[in-house]
Amino acid sequence: MYDGIVQELIDEFGRLPGIGPKSAQRITFHILQTPNFDVARLAELLTDIRQRVRFCEVCGNVSEQERCAICRDPRRNPALICVVEDAKDVSAIERTREFRGLYHVLGGAISPIAGIGPEDLRIAQLMTRLADGTVQEVILATNPNLEGRRRRPTSAVCWARSRSPCRAWPPASLSAETSSTLMR
| pLDDT at residue 96 tops 90 | yes
Under the banding of pLDDT at 50, 70 and 90, the label for residue 163 is low
Banded model confidence at residue 156, pLDDT cuts 50, 70, 90: very low
E-assigned strand segments in the chain: 54-55, 62-63, 77-84, 101-105, 137-140, 166-168
pLDDT band at 184; cut points 50, 70, 90? very low
For CA atoms 89, 91, 92, 93, the dihedral sign is positive
- Lowest-pLDDT choice from 15-24, 55-64, 138-147: 138-147
Pick the CATH number of 73-183 from 3.90.1200.10, 3.30.450.20, 3.90.1150.10, 3.40.1360.10: 3.40.1360.10
Dihedral pair phi/psi, residue 141, rounded to 5°: -115, 50
Class of domain 4-52: mainly alpha
> Does pTM surpass 0.75?
no
What residues does each domain of the chain span? Answer: 4-52, 73-183
Is the pLDDT at 178 greater than 70, yes or no?
A: no
